[in-house]
Amino acid sequence: MGPVRPVESVVFLIDKKWLPLAVASTLAGWGSVARAETAPAIVLGEVSVHAQSEGGLPPGSVLTSVDILGADKIENQNVMNSWELLGQLPGIQLTETRMGAESGKASFRAFNGEGYINGIKVLIDGIPSNVNSGNQRFIDMIFPLETDYIEVVRGTNDPRYGLHNIGGNINFGTRQGGNYNDARFTYGSGDTREVQWAFGREEGGLAQNYFLAKQDSNGVRSHSQSEKYSLAGKWFLTSPDGLMKVGVVARLYSHQAQEPGFLTAAQLAQNPWQSGAHNANDGDDRDMKHLSLHFDWQLTPALFLSNKLYMNQYSDDRRVTFSNSAATSLNNLPRQRRFWDEHQTGLMSTLTWRASPAWVVDGGINVERQKNLYQRYRFAYAVPTDFSQPTTTSNDDQYTLNNVGAFVQAVFKPSERLKLIPGLRVDRFTGDTLIRTSGVSGPLQDAGWIKQPKFSLVYSLDRETSLYANWGRTFQVLTGSRAPAYLTSASQSRFSPSINTGTEVGVKYKPDARTDLRLALWLQEATDEVANMPSTGTTVGLGQTRRKGLDLQASTRLGPQLQLWASHSLQEARVVSAFTASGVSLAGKEVFATPRRISTVGAEYQADAKWRLGLQGRAQGSYFIDDLNAQGKFGSLVQFDAHVRYALNATMSLDWQVRNLADRRSAYVWYDNFFWPSGSAQPMFSPGAGRTAFVSLNLKM
């Protein structure tokens, strides 16, 4: 046995039996102290009064591991995609694939961003916004200037959502109400040109919000040109007595992008900015739409009803070449054209009853129906790939997925020091698929009602300190258009839902109004976990898995001019018991693409009324890229970004931002064992952007 690292030994020797014991012993030792005014949620930046509905329960006051990023930490960021904004928050892993419209995603709690294990629920203004597979493509509809706040809820104790809410959820809250007329014009590296315009008017009970964005870029690699726009409108009407609000939200998004393709290690070393000749026709045309109706009603002073009826549409035409090999054993696997056409319609209804100062009950139902189409075609060897005439049709599948869910949770305060939050959620899924190439059809795997009990507590040690703990269950169900998600043959194996059981204990310390400190230990165990990639029809059973970690974070403001923040997360995801298709045990192996360490640091200095300077950094450790942990570790990065803002006058300012200030090289890495001949599988790389610079003109009229 090697030397023990003190902090990691605390985390990775945790066993599930010790967490409840830690809670009990700590409570026993602090039984005679005064009530704290703090809640476990930590806010970084400023969040407007419009960020939370007045009548509902703010998640930060109920749930116990919540982080909120305010608009002032968002609106001045120059990012190609809004999921990159999440890199400022603690414990967030960014998987930067950088393949045109298929750009990447955010994950946490040791769930990875490969696309195989989509464990994070995404919402936009409280509306479910994952595609069928769980991927986060709807985030691309949102731009920084429109974003009011980003809220991250970690763990298994949030009963509000079911599907994809395995390790937690992310909610992008956009501007609603207010009076403003803001614009931002940006030019930067890769001939990037971007304009964002946000407009709001609120008068006589009518609130109108509009947003328009256009972004064009040649990218930092060859063959990576991108053009996209987003258009949004909100119209909300509030009754004269303020008790009723009804509104409509509409969004349109379009993106056309070239894909530069993945590089071998030799190609990366030769020239990381190149694109292979075989990728010259690769690209993506993506369109997304959203429409929702909102109705909130304060029925009585104690009773609040919230309703959301929504429609999401996602269509995508992706042309992709994974290999330049002409080996006959590959047939036409590496050259593919994939079409998605997904339609989601749903209803969410929540009722909040403030029965007394000691009791609040919150419950609701949701219904979602998906009608989806997935087509995949393969093409003969050519350099570049000729996507005009397919040689085979791999998929032509029409399928549905229906979800009915319900939840209830209660907030009970038996004393001034203690808050108890029991909860329960249930979900049921149905659906069917039709494989149009063969005429074969089949129903969705029937899991029955999936029960997910939850429990949280917050205990106030004194006015500065609160201890919190939670326990809960979430689930993973198979997605995609074919087996194993759907039963298309009598001999097909049946999969039970993967049940995740999570436990967390933590302490939040607020020594003064400007400082927040939080420490959390967490453990999450899953049964029958599956790494599932519907777009390729790849399913790998991981069996029983165990994830655990430690999160440390701190933020403080030193006087009116200087703000500092930092976080460090240690995490581990291992397979407890499973075998590969060839019978090799995976027990003890780390779940691929999961780094052991994720860190952030930041500082912002307001020198005077005109100058504001900022520096922030993030880092993550390396990770294994295959399920056997046999191909080595890759993917570590350290990146610092700097920005300067100069106020020209009361309505106009200039921003300079340099991303990856030290020009440190990094790359997203995956193990290509599917598109290469037997024995030729190898790591494939998508290089990070290197140092980039941007200048922006901001107008607040």
CA dist 138 and 425 (Å) reads: 25
Structure tokens belonging to residue 233: 């409108």
Indicate whether 1 pLDDT > 50: no
Give yes or no for a contact between 109 and 117, defined as CB atoms under 8 angstroms apart. no
- The Cα-based distances of 454 to 64, 86, 158, 345, 469 in angstroms read 12, 26, 8, 27, 11
**Strand-strand pairing, 120-124 and 168-174:** parallel
Q: Which two tokens stand for residue 363?
A: 């419950």
Query: If 0-12 CB within 10 Å is exposed, 13-18 middle and 19+ buried, where does residue 242 land?
Result: exposed
Sign of CA dihedral 136, 333, 625, 190: negative
Torsion of the alpha carbons at 656, 194, 692 and 269, rounded to the nearest 10: 180
Cα dihedral 69→72→73→78 (10° resolution):
130
Structure tokens given for 229: 């726009």
Average pLDDT score over residue span 360-388: 96
Helix (H) or strand (E) holding 166: none
Domain extents for the chain? 6-700
* Residue corresponding to tokens 């200048």: 695
Residue 331, pLDDT score: 64
- pLDDT of the residue at 677: 58
- Residue 222 CA to residue 489 CA, distance in Å, equals 45
Burial of 367 (0-12, 13-18, 19+ CB in 10 A): middle
> What is the mean predicted confidence (pLDDT) over 663-692?
84
If one compares 579 and 82, the residue with the highest pLDDT of the two is 82
664-668 LR contacts (CB < 8 Å, sep 24+): 664/637, 664/638, 664/639, 665/272, 665/690, 666/635, 666/636, 666/637, 666/639, 667/268, 667/272, 667/634, 667/635, 668/95, 668/96, 668/97, 668/98, 668/104, 668/635
Answer for the pair 152, 167: CB distance below 8 angstroms, yes or no.
no
pLDDT at 388 over 50: yes
Query: pLDDT at position 53, please?
Result: 44
Q: Around Cβ 229, how many Cβ atoms within 10 Å? A: 16
Query: What DSSP designation does 309 have?
Result: E
Phi-psi region of 255 (alpha: psi -120 to 50; beta: other; left: phi over 0): beta
Give the pLDDT band (50/70/90) at residue 49. low
Q: What is the pLDDT of residues 582-621, one digit of tens each?
A: 788 999 999 999 999 999 999 999 999 999 999 999 999 9
Confidence check: pLDDT of 272 > 70: yes
Q: Pick the closest to residue 524 from 114, 117, 95, 157 (CA basis).
A: 157
- Neighbouring C-beta atoms of residue 499, cutoff 10 Å: 17
Among 647, 620, 645, which residue's Cα sits nearest to residue 634?
Answer: 620
Q: What is the mean pLDDT of residues 234-253?
A: 97
| Stretch 364-386: mean pLDDT | 96
* DSSP states of 319-336: EEE------GGGTTTTEE
Tell me, what's the pLDDT at 257?
98
User: Quick one: CA torsion of 346, 348, 349, 352, rounded to 10 degrees?
Assistant: 180
What is the chain's mean pLDDT, rounded?
90
Phi, psi of 88 (to 5 degrees): -75, -20
pLDDT at 140 over 90: yes
Model confidence pLDDT, tens digit, residues 329-339: 456 778 999 99
- Quick one: which of 370, 404, 590 has its CA closest to 481? 370
Closest alpha carbon to 172 in 202, 199, 141:
141
Q: How far apart are CA 620 and CA 388, in angstroms?
A: 41
Indicate the helix (H) or strand (E) that contains 262: none
Distance from C-alpha of 247 to C-alpha of 571, rounded to nearest angstrom: 42
Please check whether residue 120 is in contact with residue 166, taking contact to mean a CB–CB distance below 8 angstroms: yes
**Pairwise CA distance, residues 130 & 134, whole Å:** 5
* Three-state DSSP class for residue 278: helix
Please, which pLDDT band fits residue 116 given cuts at 50, 70 and 90? confident
Report d(CA 109, CA 521) in Å as an integer.
11
The per-residue DSSP string of 592-643 comes to TT--SEEEEEEEEEE-SSSEEEEEEEEEE--EE-STTS-S-EE--EEEEEEE
Q: For residue 3, what pLDDT band results from cuts at 50, 70 and 90?
A: very low
| Distance (Å, whole) CA 624 – CA 589 | 9
For residue 117, what pLDDT band results from cuts at 50, 70 and 90?
Answer: confident
Q: For the purposes of burial, counting CB atoms within 10 Å of the CB of 662, is it exposed (0-12), middle (13-18) or buried (19 or more)?
A: exposed
- pLDDT band at residue 32 using 50, 70 and 90 as cut-offs: very low
What is the distance between the alpha carbons of residues 266 and 681, in angstroms, rounded to a whole number? 14
- In this structure, what DSSP letter does residue 99 have? B
Least confident residue range of 232-246, 397-411, 487-501, 555-569:
487-501
Q: Can you give the pLDDT at residue 25? A: 38
Predicted local distance difference test score (pLDDT) of residue 675: 64
Cα–Cα distance between 19 and 533 in angstroms, integer? 33
Q: Which CATH number fits domain 6-700: 3.10.310.30, 1.20.120.430, 3.40.50.1970, 2.40.170.20?
A: 2.40.170.20
pLDDT range class, residue 323, cuts 50, 70, 90? confident
The answer to which of 59-68, 264-273, 281-290, 568-577 has the lowest mean pLDDT is 59-68
pLDDT at 322: 87
Cis peptide before 484 (omega within 30 of 0): yes
Label the pairing between strands 42-44 and 66-70.
parallel
DSSP designation for 2? -
How confident is the model at residue 43, as a pLDDT?
84
Lowest mean pLDDT among 133-142, 226-235, 579-588: 579-588
Give the tens place of pLDDT for each residue, 495-527: 889 999 999 999 999 999 899 999 999 999 999
pLDDT tens-place string over residues 182-231:
999 999 999 999 999 999 999 999 999 999 999 999 999 999 999 999 99
Report the range of poorest mean pLDDT among 142-151, 169-178, 484-493, 570-579: 484-493
